[in-house]
Chain A
Amino acid sequence: MLVEAGHFALALALGLSLIQFVVPLWGARANDPVLMAVAPAGALAVLACIAFSFLALTLAYVSSDFSVLNVVQNSHSAKPLIYKISGVWGNHEGSMLLWVLILALFGAVVAVARNTIPMRLQANTLAVQALITIAFLLFILTTSNPFTRVIPAAPEGQDLNPLLQDPGLAIHPPLLYIGYVGFSISFAFACAALIDGRIDAVWARIVRPWTLGAWAFLTLGIAMGSYWAYYELGWGGWWFWDPVENASLMPWLAGTALLHSTVVMEKRDALKVWTILLAILTFSLSLLGTFLVRSGVLTSVHSFAVDPERGTFILGILILFIGGSLALFAWRAPMLRQGGLFAPVSREGALVLNNLFLATACATVFIGTLYPLALEVLAAEKISVGAPFFNFTFLPLIVPLLLLLPLGQTLAWKRGNFLGTAQRLYAVFGVSLLATVALLALRHGGPVAAPLGIGLGVYLVLGSLNEILTRSWSRGTPLSVAWRKARGLPRSAWGTAIAHAGVGLTVIGIAATAWGVETIGSLRVGERLGAGEYEVRLERVIPRVEANYREDAAILTVFGAGRELGTIETMKRLYVTRGMPTTEAGILTTGLGQIYASIGEVQADGSIGMRLYHKPLVLLIWIGALVMAAGGALSLTDRRLRIGAPARARTAPPAAVPAE
Chain B
Amino acid sequence: MTRKQRRLTLIGVAGCVLAVALGLVLYAMNDTIVFFNSPADIQAKNVQPGTRIRLGGLVKEGSVQRGSDQQISFEVMDAQAAVQVTYKGLLPDLFREGQGVVAEGVLVGPGTFRADSVLAKHDENYMPREVADTLKKQGHWMGEANAAPKTQ
Interface positions of A (Cβ within 8 A of B) = 73, 92, 158, 161, 163, 234, 299-301, 304-306, 341-344, 352-353, 356-357, 360-361, 363-364, 367-368, 371, 381-386, 388-389, 392-393, 396-397, 520-522, 572, 578-583, 598-601, 603-604, 609-611
Is A611 a contact partner of B90 (Cβ separation < 8 A)? yes
Please name all residues of chain B whose beta carbon is closer than 8 Å to the beta carbon of A601 when the two chains form the complex. 91
Minimum distance in angstroms from B1 CB to a CB of chain A: 7
Q: How many A-B residue pairs have CB under 8 A?
A: 127
Closest Cβ neighbor of A394 among chain B residues: B24
What A residues does B9 contact at CB under 8 A? 344
Whether B91 lies near A301 (C-beta < 8 A) is no
Cα A382 to Cα B28 with chains together (Å) = 17
Q: Give the size category of B's interface with A.
A: 35 or more
Q: Which residues of A contact B129 (CB under 8 A)?
A: 299
Within the complex, what minimum Cβ distance (angstroms) separates A398 from chain B?
A: 11
Produce 1/0 per residue, B13-45, CB < 8 A to A. Answer: 110011011001101110111111000000000
CA distance A344 to B6 in the complex (A): 7
Roughly how many angstroms separate A392 CA and B25 CA in the complex, as a whole number?
A: 8
Q: Let me know if B94 is at the binding interface, CB within 8 A.
A: yes
The answer to whether A386 touches B66 (Cβ under 8 A) is no
Q: Are A393 and B25 in contact (CB under 8 A)?
A: yes
Q: Which 9 residue pairs across A and B have the least CB separation, nearest first?
A: A382-B36, A388-B32, A600-B90, A389-B32, A392-B28, A581-B93, A393-B24, A301-B122, A299-B129
> Is the pair A383, B10 in contact by a Cβ cutoff of 8 Å?
no
Question: Whole-angstrom distance between the alpha carbons of A601 and B70 in the complex?
Answer: 11
Q: A520, B33: Cβ atoms under 8 Å?
A: no
- Render B77-104 as a binary contact track against A, CB cut-off 8 A, 1 for contact: 0000000000011110110000000001
Residues of B within 8 A of A583 (CB): 93
Docked-complex contact A363 and B21, CB < 8 angstroms: yes
Shortest Cβ gap from A386 to chain B (Å): 7
What's the minimum C-beta distance from A405 to chain B, rounded to whole angstroms?
Answer: 16
Query: Quick one: given A383-B35, A609-B70, are A300 and B152 in contact (CB under 8 Å)?
Result: no
Determine the distance from Cα of A386 to Cα of B66 in the docked complex, in whole angstroms: 28
**What does DSSP make chain A's interface, helix, strand, loop or mixed?**
mixed
Given contacts A344-B9, A392-B28, A393-B24, contact A73 B18 (CB under 8 A): no
Kindly report which residue of chain B lies nearest to residue A161, judged by CB atoms: B123
User: Do A73 and B54 contact each other (CB < 8 Å), given the known contacts A383-B35, A389-B29, A580-B123?
Assistant: no
Q: Which of A161, A383, A389, A521 contacts B28 (CB 8 A)?
A: A389
Pair B90/A598 contact, Cβ less than 8 Å: yes
B61 partner residues in chain A, CB cutoff 8 A:
none
Q: Which residue of A lies closest to B24 (CB)?
A: A393
Contact B10 A352 (CB under 8 A): yes
- When the two chains form their complex, are residues A609 and B90 in contact, meaning their CB atoms are under 8 A apart? yes
Q: Find out whether the CB atom of A600 lies under 8 angstroms from the CB atom of B21.
A: no
Chain B residues whose CB sits within 8 angstroms of the CB of A522 once the complex forms? 68-70
Are A393 and B28 interface neighbours, CB within 8 A?
yes
| Smallest beta-carbon distance B133→chain A, Å | 8
In the assembled complex, the Cα of A367 lies from the Cα of B27 at a distance in Å of: 13
Q: Mark B127-138, 1 if CB is under 8 A from A, else 0.
A: 011100100000
Contacts known (A344-B10, A357-B17); A383 close to B124, Cβ less than 8 A = no
- Give the docked Cα–Cα distance between A392 and B27 (Å): 9
Chain B contacts for A341, CB-based, 8 A? 3, 6
- Considering the chains assembled together, what is the distance between the CA atoms of A609 and B93 in angstroms? 12
